[in-house]
């Protein structure tokens, strides 16, 4: 089996499981308890928090552990907006049209409370022009509660100009949140370089268990908590902390970042070697599938051709059902997807692809291939051949 759906989820790393196991068994204390088991749990939680902060180049106190990307996005978008409205009366929430549903749904929920949602348009590659943000902030950002711009898109892999946008929002005094869920392990996450004020991560994209993740919020940035209770996580997220999950997430994130750094260093030119394998895969798909489809409405790579995640390639087929191709691929031992796992089973076309200008029919021919660093070039070649065979069987 060739697994090419890592953007949906990844297997749990053995190192993460081994780190978690003691805290699921003998070292099971509640971090808020004052006895020895509680102190031990609190220490493990602190160590995990410092490890995550280390990857981000941040302070440990700025890291809040969450149940994953969806909670982190909700906490950031809602929490920052509500705090800004309370502080300065700002009621405009600015998001890109291709954000993950967790961001878009949070923004539109805020609209029910009187906020105005501004969706930034994207070009045909799913890329946000910083000039669009500059236009929204032209009056100095007056009335803007926050801007949320993902670091990398989960469906088409486009990497957004977050640092450029951060320079604009910082000058206007407007907080910037980025959903970095898909970027972890592939792109630098140092918050100093990105310039953001809040950043979301999810564990199961880097080899930690589902239901783990973190939200980083810069010190001094106000965040209204959405979960109230005992005041855990410095009041940002009440509830007994998931110590095993936090420990496993920290280990997995650290390994993913170490692997990224080592891979780029070994390349000699600063280019991630996986990006070269991606380009070879795209070329093989174009050479095999392209001739099988009608000219002018055939195979198309979606997302930015160069500013994209290294382990990600997505296409539309222009007339061949994406779901049918996925079934044919599975019969040939290749597992992939048509896009976001959050949309599985839906008849609606991807909001990302339609925002990029694709019509409904074409959007429903989408395929997404995403992989990990353990995926080999031979496996990608096998997948390209399987895709050619699958499309061929459907177009005869």
Q: Which residues are catalytic?
A: 342
R_g of the chain computed on alpha carbons: 21
Count the neighbouring beta carbons within 10 Å of the beta carbon of residue 387.
27
Count the neighbouring beta carbons within 10 Å of the beta carbon of residue 46.
13
Residue pair 198/215 in contact (Cβ under 8 Å)? The answer is yes
């Amino acid at each position: 089996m060739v697994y090419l759906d890592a953007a949906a989820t990844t297997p749990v790393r053995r190192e993460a499981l081994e780190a978690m196991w003691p805290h699921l068994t003998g070292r099971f204390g509640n971090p808020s308890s004052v006895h020895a088991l509680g102190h031990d749990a609190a220490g493990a939680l602190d160590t995990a928090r410092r490890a995550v902060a280390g990857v981000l180049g941040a302070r440990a106190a700025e890291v809040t552990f969450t149940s994953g990307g969806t909670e982190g996005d909700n906490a950031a978008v809602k929490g920052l907006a509500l705090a800004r409205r309370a502080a300065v009366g700002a009621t405009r929430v600015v998001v890109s049209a291709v954000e993950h549903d967790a961001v878009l749904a949070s923004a539109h929920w805020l609209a029910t409370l009187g906020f105005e949602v501004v969706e930034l348009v994207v070009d045909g590659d799913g890329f946000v022009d910083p000039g669009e943000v500059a236009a929204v902030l032209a009056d100095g950002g007056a009335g803007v509660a926050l801007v949320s711009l993902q670091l990398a898109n989960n469906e088409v892999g486009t990497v957004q100009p977050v640092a450029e946008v951060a320079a604009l929002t910082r000058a206007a005094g407007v907080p910037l949140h980025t959903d970095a869920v898909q970027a972890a392990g592939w792109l630098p996450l140092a918050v100093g370089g990105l310039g953001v004020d809040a950043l979301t991560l999810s564990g199961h994209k880097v080899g930690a268990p589902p239901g783990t993740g973190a939200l980083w919020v810069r010190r001094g940035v106000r965040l209204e908590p959405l979960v109230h209770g005992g005041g855990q996580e410095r009041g940002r997220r009440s509830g007994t902390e998931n110590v095993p999950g936090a420990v496993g997430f920290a280990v997995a994130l650290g390994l993913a970042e170490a692997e990224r750094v080592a891979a780029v260093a070994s390349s000699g030119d600063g280019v991630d070697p996986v990006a070269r394998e991606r380009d070879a895969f795209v070329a093989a798909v174009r050479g095999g599938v392209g001739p099988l489809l009608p000219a002018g409405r055939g195979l198309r790579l979606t997302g930015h051709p160069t500013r994209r995640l290294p382990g990600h390639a997505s296409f539309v087929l222009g007339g061949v059902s994406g779901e049918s191709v996925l079934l044919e691929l599975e019969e040939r031992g290749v597992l992939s997807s048509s896009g976001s796992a959050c949309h599985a089973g839906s008849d609606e076309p991807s909001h990302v692809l339609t925002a990029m200008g694709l019509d409904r029919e074409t959007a429903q021919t989408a395929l997404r291939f995403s992989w990990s660093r353990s995926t080999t070039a031979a496996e990608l070649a096998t997948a390209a051949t399987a895709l050619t065979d699958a499309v061929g069987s459907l177009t005869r």
